[in-house]
Structure 1
Amino acid sequence: MSDDLTSKSFFHLHLVSDSTGETLNAVAKAAVAQFEMVHPIEHIYALVRGPRQLDRVLRQIEASPGIVMFTMVSDKLRRELETRCRELQVPCIAVLDPVMQVLGAYLGTERTEKPGSQHTLDAEYFARIDALNYTIAHDDGQNLDNLEEADIVLVGVSRTSKTPTCMYLAHRGVKAANYPLVPEIPVPHQIEQLSSPLVVGLIASPERLLQIRKQRLLSLKEDAETNYVDLDQIRAEVTAARRLYARHGWPIIDVSRRSIEETAASILNLYTESKAPAV
């Protein structure tokens, strides 16, 4: 075991949800990330909507005591979970309660006991599915002839996270396509003449791209020296990309030290601004 792992403090973290658990998992990860040198051993329980399922959860908590975080709307199940956690002397946190209380007080209405209501099969849900289908069909320069239907088109050299960023955007209901810039291959007119979608140019530092590309080749068990991992060639690619973006006035995002989520958030901000009415 590495020194990094042995120096970390491990603890059990029980995540209990009556829905898919996505919201709870995201909150837990965001919170734990603020504490260095700790590592949670996660126990994830989704779709806990009845006594039998909760009994299984409680047995696991008793066997591996630790922090309990939950999102459940059933008052009966909540009370049973909180009561048992007090008996076991483990912390039990209802992560959405403060938000729900403020919303209820402000709106002057009571919440409904409806698990997973954010996953209702409504128009927004089907819009996300439509966006995902579009994004998959327009990944890596495919189907250029109907790119005007996209909301956002990402352009960038190899390994600037175009595909995962597009998939993240699609999960937010955004039709996102991407086109890879390849040395000595002209950018097609379908890209250069786009008028409806927001086109965003992605770049990264040559040194960062070199590191990522080398890791990519290693994962493919390729060890031949090529221009793909030549630093001077990569610098030339980045310079050419910057010139292309400047010529068209496309906004640029440097992804060198950004996560996919941070890149997507910046792109969505640009998209919102591009759709705002001129003052």
Structure 2
Amino acid sequence: MKKSFVIYVLSDSVGDTAEQVARATAEQYKNTDYEIKKYPYVESVVKIDNIIDNVDVKNSIFVYTIVNQEISEYLKKVCDQKNITYIDIMAPSLDKFSSFLNQEPLRESGVIRKLDENYFKRVEAVEFAVKYDDGKDPRGILKADIVLIGVSRSSKTPLSMYLAHKNYKVVNIPIVTGSKVPDQLFEVPRKKIIGLMIDPSDLIEIRRERIKVLGLDNSVDYVSIEKIYEELEYAQKIMKKLGCPVIDMTKKAVEEAANLVIDIINDLN
């Protein structure tokens, strides 16, 4: 004869972990029928009382992941009083980790959910950086957290991608001598725009390496020192007109430049 029972899954977050553990465990037993009733976001003793009032004590088991100590202790006390079988999934792990790390846990609910949200924000920021890379669509300027402007090979793209991994939506716009910059640059707060400058001698070396990779001739204007001076002078005029902060990228690692950008953005907010 099959035994029928109800698994009450309680959590102060979404409850997926407790449900998966309960289901995986219950499936190990033959000749049983079970039903799972899940109660996410159990964040008060009142909610626990409301749940327990409708429980068939003899045919129920509580499986829960509640990190809030007060609520967890209350649930244990009520279960003991009513002789309800319960499993605190988090307790053994928290005890072992606390002993191993020699520190107390945060006891903060929904931490994994917050980490997931952070992950999706990062993915969104990276996709944004790719979509609006190198001025592909100037409309992105109005949606961005940060707008990087500078001449070719001033590290706009790698800096954009690094900042994207820090959850910033970044657009980078190339400044080309004689070409009009997008009107949108004059429609966003100046604090969002960061100009990137670089020493001409460094820039020419970077560009020479680039055309070598592309298999182009060294005589092109792209690596002409006169043209590079002209480009940088034009870029400086644009940045001055915009009134934006400027970072010297000469010999700077992307990580160092990113920290400077973030400091500037935070200081101006």
Following superposition, the deviation at residue 118 of structure 1 comes to 7.8
2:227 aligned with 1:214: no
Distance 1:118 1:254, change over 3 A: farther
**Identity score, percent:** 33
Following superposition, the deviation at residue 203 of structure 1 comes to 0.6
Contact in 1 for aligned 2:191/2:268 (Cα 8 Å): no
Contact in 2 for aligned 1:139/1:178 (Cα 8 Å): yes
AA aligned to 2:199 is S
Question: Structure 1 segments of 4 or more deviating over 4 A?
Answer: 73-76, 117-121
Contact in 1 for aligned 2:190/2:242 (Cα 8 Å): no
SS at match of 1:155: strand
SS at match of 1:163: helix
* 1:192-229 superposed Cα distances (whole Å, 9 cap, x missing partner): 33237610000100100000000000111112411111
How does the TM-score come out when normalised to structure 1?
0.56
Q: What 5-or-longer segments of structure 1 have no aligned partner?
A: 1-72, 77-96
Find the counterpart in structure 2 of residue 263 from structure 1: 257
How does the TM-score come out when normalised to structure 2?
0.58
Following superposition, the deviation at residue 120 of structure 1 comes to 6.6
Distance 1:224 1:151, change over 3 A: same
Contact in 1 for aligned 2:191/2:265 (Cα 8 Å): no
1:127 to 118, 121, 124: 121
Task: State which structure, 1 or 2, has the greater radius of gyration over its C-alpha atoms.
Answer: 2
Find the counterpart in structure 2 of residue 165 from structure 1: 159
Following superposition, the deviation at residue 148 of structure 1 comes to 1.2
2:244 aligned with 1:234: no
Following superposition, the deviation at residue 240 of structure 1 comes to 1.4
AA aligned to 1:249 is G
2:195 aligned with 1:182: no
Q: CA RMSD in A?
A: 2.7
SS at match of 1:222: coil
Find the counterpart in structure 2 of residue 141 from structure 1: 135
SS at match of 2:212: helix
Following superposition, the deviation at residue 255 of structure 1 comes to 0.5
Quote the Cα distance in structure 1 between the aligned partners of 2:197 and 2:244.
12
AA aligned to 2:257 is T
Quote the Cα distance in structure 2 between the aligned partners of 1:219 and 1:150.
31
